[in-house]
Structure 1
Amino acid sequence: MGTATVPAGRRPAGVVPARRRPVRPGRSPSARREARWAYLFLAPWLVGFLAFQAGPMIASAWLSLTEYDVINEPRFTGLDNYRQLTSDPQVARSLGNTVLYTLLHVPLVMVLSLGLALLLHRVGRFQGFFRTVFYLPVMTPAVAVGILFLLLLNTQDGLVNRGLALVGVDGPSWTTDPDWILPGIVLMSLWSLGSTVIIYLAALQNVPRDLYEAASIDGAGRWARFRTVTLPMISGALFFTLVVNTIASLQMFTEVYTMYFGNRETQNRFNSDAATFYVIHLFQEAFQFLHMGFASAMAWLLFVIILLITLVQMKLGNRFVYYEGDDR
């Protein structure tokens, strides 16, 4: 029999081509050297993260399942601490104070900061000076702020009530009346709005002037330009400060603790229940009553609350926030 001839470019019948192994290009010596340097520079952060963040979080998660008073060995109790969270009235009261403070503080800071940023945007040559003036209070230590406002909000001799008296208003008892303690704390928190003002000012300076000119040509007034041009273009900054200020408000501690819990005399003189925020109660459970397991459960509850609120904000932010280069 003769040998069959296979046309050029075709494989014989029944012959399966060998699978070629994909060629993986090796990393060049320079790339490997850069990777080693990257890991070397990241090492301090990684060590710090494991030692001061990941490690304590894992330890806190374990302690939240135990009864631990620092002196004796932890005793495993399961979910008892979390069950106690749902029945402790002080936890509910402190969480309610914290949430109410957040609902008052965050919108007020954002609105006032935006108004001040709009004014600074029109100042001109003195803008740098006023930026510094507004930001300086942010550098004030939180303990000093607490002591300062304890004096300013004093019922008899406080500067705030003296100023109200000049216009014929009888100032309230900011530090003793339970109905006015929380508004007084919100008033104190406005001291540090300078950082939010600077963020909004930077965002306003990045809004293209062409958009305002186009809106003016279309007949848009000042309010229409603010609503249709300014707000959408700075929505990223607004969203950022909303998230950051919400997280900070839910963890409010130092200033309030200094004012109302700094010493036993102050704590007995003022109504401290209205000023008991969640983190303050957590601190007391951990370091005053040595209920470390219960305090760890409180910390994880706060972590979950902040996580859920942030996730909701992120979900809503994707709908309303404009990002440069976004085609939506």
Structure 2
Amino acid sequence: MKELKYQFSKREVTYYLDAEFSYLENLVERNNTVLILDENVAGYHKEKLEGWKTIVIPPGEAYKQQSTVDSIIHQLIKIGADRKTFLVGVGGGVITDMTGYVASVYMRGVQFGFVPTTLLSMVDASIGGKNGVDIGIYKNLVGTINQPKFILFDYSLLQTLPEAEWVNGCAEMIKHGCIKDAGLFQLLEENNLSSIQSNASLFASVIERNVTIKSDVVKNDEFENGERRLLNFGHTLAHAIENNYQLSHGQAVSIGMVVAAAISETINRFSAGDKARLIKVLQQYQLPVQFSYNKEKAFETLVMDKKRSGNAMNYVLLKSIGEAEVKSIPLEQLKELLLQTN
């Protein structure tokens, strides 16, 4: 096990990398802790969960809604949870997002931590303090920025993960390489999902590299006034199509990155060669690079994105592999650019 500590504005967060789920007992008092998880995690990991108080919800993005949060809160009341109760989200991004949100608002705030169980949540969703819910088709429109006390990474939990969920997480790793780490991008080019899965030391190093990339960015700009916006690469369009077309988050981000790369080539001098490298590595990790969608409808959803400022959108564009920037694009121009993409 390896510990990493990051000091954010209000809290120090400790990451326990390559730990075991049983180590949770060293971090919280079992009698005063409630685990929040979905039906899939509850079914796969019955032995690990034995003896813990749990709240189990249906799985999937469709349940990342205020009504589910209300249900969790009603169950906390029934359990008798008070301000000293510790919540632990055990699951993927939907679970960690909602657990952090519930912990932020229940009795005006209780402590919480995460045990991510998907690749996507290990490399991205559980890190950074963003918590919340969707409002209809609008992704993450309501929520908080509030850091967990800890994140415990038990890689063995990924053994039950379907292959599609492994692929889902690869999109965020590729994103991190695109915006911040050309070396990571090259490492991903030189490997594939199978080679990373089968090499324990390589896998551990890839996880740690992604954790530190995102954590360093968030530490420098926790409340998204500057550098943290880069983490939205591919996400502006992704959020506009993900729920409308029942795509996985990774699939939507992959499509969003291809479109952002095309826009970068058009207005930001991003090279055609680097765009081709991005498309190739996405395909290498079984992610989609083309998708037929209603661009007019997508744009209507996109304009409600949190990154919009007045009549312009703060859009993440690439300068080169490993270097990105945020550009304010007038909505009228952005619509034209979107309509021009394949």
TM superposition score normalised by structure 2: 0.22
TM superposition score normalised by structure 1: 0.23
**Which structure shows the bigger proportion of residues in helix conformation?**
1
**Which structure shows the bigger proportion of residues in strand conformation?**
2
Larger radius of gyration: 1
